[in-house]
Amino acid sequence: FHTLRVILGDQLNASHKWLRKPDAGVMYLIAELHPEATYVTHHNQKLCAFFLAMEKFAQALTDAGHHVRYLTLDDTVDETLESLIIDTAHTLKVKKIELQRPDEYRVLMQYKSVAEQAKQSVSIHDTEHFMLPFEEIPKHFKPKMSNRMEHFYRKMRKRFNILMEDENTPVAGKWNFDSANRNKLKPKDMAHIPEPLLFNNDVSHIQERIKRHNIQYLGKADNAILWPVTRHDALHLLQFFCDHLLPNFGRYQDAMTDQTPQKWTLYHSRLSFALNTKMISPKHVIKAAILTYQYRKKEIDIAQVEGFVRQILGWREYVRGMYWINMPDYHTQNKLDAKRDLPSYFWSGDTKMNCLSQAIGQSLEFAYAHHIQRLMVTGNFCLLSEIEPSQVDEWYLGIYVDALEWVELPNTRSMSQFADGGWIASKPYAASGSYIQKMSDYCSSCHYDVKEKVGESSCPLNSLYWRFMNKHRERLLKNPRISVIYGNWDRQDAQQRDAILNRAQWCLDNIESL
C-alpha cells in the first residue's frame, strides 16, 4: 500500500471523492478507540450507534472493493488515535497518510501531533459535508463577540439560492416564520402525531465489547438501537420525515407533552445523528424538504419548510462557525461565574419537577431530547441554578446520540448557559414556569404549582427565574429586549420580592431534594 487513509466515526460520507473508485494501493483505517469511548461518559446507545455505523460503513466499503482495516476495542486496547495511525502507517510501509478535516478541536490537535511525529507525508482533506467551506469561516464570524445567526442565515439563503423568489427576495416575502411556529399541542392534536419510524439494529455484539472492556456509560442499554446506522436507514428516515412530519414541523417545533407515546419525538426529524456522522448531507436533506414542499403546497405551508431549513442551513452551519472561530477559548467561558454542581437527578430523572423528570427521563431512555427540551427545560434549569458550565457541557456531550463537541459546545455553553455573555444569544434563554406551562402540559401533573412563586409547593423555576434576573440586573438591563421585565419585578412590593428571593435560595440550598 502507498497510502493510509483514516476515516473517523463522524466521517461516514459515502459520497466522498476518496470513495469514488477502489484503489489497490490505498488502505482505509476505521477503528473503535478506547480514548474516544471514554473522553466523556457517553450514553450507551450513543456508543452503540457510532460503533455499529462505523462497522456497517467499513463493510460497505469492503463490499465495494476498497481495502479496509476495521479495528474493534479488542484490537486497540492500548492505542491512542495518534499511536494507531503512526503504527499502522509504519506496519503497512505506506508513503502517505491522508486524513479528513476533523470537526472537533481535540482531534485537530491529535492530527497536528500525527503530522509532527509521522515519517510519511501527512495531508488533511475536506470532509465534503458542510455547506460553508471551512476556509471561509473567518469571513463570516468574528471571534469573542456577538455574531447573529439570522444575519448569517440570510446570506446562506442568498448564496445557495434556497427558498428565494429572486436574488434578494425570500419566498413568500419573509425570511423568518418563527412567530407562526410556537403552537402548543392541544389534546385533539395528539391523536394525529405519527408513530415514529424506529430502527431495530442489533448491537448485542457491541454490548459484549462494551462490557468486556468495562467502558462506563450512562442511560438505558439495549441490544437493539433505534437510530439509523447506514445511509439507507438515513434516507428512509428522511423520506419518513418529508412524508409525515414536515407538514407540522414548524407549527409544533417548540411544543412539549407527556401525554402520548410519541411525546419524545413529536414532529422532529431525529436526523441529527445521521447528519453529524455524515451518512447524509445537509444539502440533500434541505433539497428533499423543499421538493416535498413544492409538490405538496396545498398541505405544507412555507412556515413549516422554512423552519426546518433554518435549523440546518442556519443554526447547524452557524454553530460550526462559532465553534471554530472561538476555539479553544470557548472551553473556559463562564461569564456568569456559575459554580454549583449538577444535581444527581440528571442521571436518574428522579425529581418532583415534572418538566425535568420528563426531559431527563426520555434522554436517559432514548439518548434524545428535542431542542426546546434541551434549551428551555434542562438548559434553563442549569442556567437559573448556576450550574458550572463544564459540568453542563459534559452531561450534554455524553447523553445525546448526536452530541459532538462542535455542535454541543456552542449550543450548551453559549446559547443555553450564556457563559460567553452573548456571543450567540442576545439575551439569556431564562424562563419561569409560565413558559413551560405555555408550551407543554407538564405542569398539570407536576408536584409543584406553576402559578405560585413562594411557598413549599411553588414551582422552583418561578423564584429561581426572578433571583437570576435580579442578580444579573446590571448586565441585562443594558438589553432593551429585557428592560421591560424589570418593570414587572420593581412593581412587586418589597416583602413579596424578599419572599421570592428567599424561596429561590431555599431551592438552591436544597437543590438535590427538588
Strands of 21-60, DSSP E: 26-31
Measure the CA angle with vertex 98, ends 92 and 99; round to 5°: 120
Report the alpha-carbon distance of residue 23 to residue 98 in Å, rounded: 14
Binding-site member from 16, 157, 270, 467 for ligand FAD (CB under 6 A): 270
Binding-site member from 436, 500, 504, 507 for ligand SF4 (CB under 6 A): 436
Identify any residues that bridge with 458 across adjacent strands, giving them in sequence order.
449
Backbone angles phi, psi at 344, to 5 degrees: -65, -20
Nearest approach, Cβ of residue 512 and ligand SF4 (Å):
15
* Crossing angle (nearest 10°) for helices 44-63 and 204-212: 120
- Kind of pairing between the strands at 121-125 and 201-202: unpaired
Segment contacting ligand FAD by CB under 6 A, of 68-76, 287-295, 409-417, 436-444: 409-417
Q: Is 236 in the site for ligand FAD (CB under 6 A)?
A: no
Nearest approach, Cβ of residue 311 and ligand FAD (Å):
3
Select from ligand FAD, ligand SF4, none the partner in contact with residue 370, using the beta carbon and a kind-dependent cut-off of 5 to 8 Å. Answer: ligand FAD
- Kind of pairing between the strands at 121-125 and 96-100: parallel
Nearest approach, Cβ of residue 249 and ligand FAD (Å):
7
Quick one: which of 40, 146, 42 has its CA closest to 390?
40
Backbone angle region of 373, left / alpha / beta, with phi > 0 → left and psi within -120 to 50 → alpha: alpha
Nearest approach, Cβ of residue 456 and ligand FAD (Å):
30
Contact 177, 306 (CB under 8 A): yes
Binding-site member from 45, 269, 304, 333 for ligand FAD (CB under 6 A): 269
Nearest approach, Cβ of residue 448 and ligand SF4 (Å):
4
Backbone angles phi, psi at 407, to 5 degrees: -105, -30
Contact 293, 300 (CB under 8 A): yes
Select from ligand SF4, ligand FAD, none the partner in contact with residue 45, using the beta carbon and a kind-dependent cut-off of 5 to 8 Å. Answer: none
Nearest approach, Cβ of residue 135 and ligand SF4 (Å):
45
Q: Is 354 in the site for ligand SF4 (CB under 6 A)?
A: yes
* Four-CA torsion 92, 97, 101, 105, nearest 10 degrees: 80
Report the alpha-carbon distance of residue 137 to residue 443 in Å, rounded: 42
Q: Is 10 in the site for ligand FAD (CB under 6 A)?
A: no
Select from ligand FAD, ligand SF4, none the partner in contact with residue 442, using the beta carbon and a kind-dependent cut-off of 5 to 8 Å. Answer: ligand SF4
* Contact letters for ligand SF4, residues 118-137 (x by CB under 6 A): --------------------
Contact residues for ligand SF4, defined by CB under 6 A: 353-355, 433, 436-437, 442-443, 446, 448, 450, 459-461
Contact residues for ligand FAD, defined by CB under 6 A: 268-272, 275-276, 311-312, 315-316, 319, 370-371, 374-375, 379, 396, 400, 402-403, 407-408, 411-412, 415-416
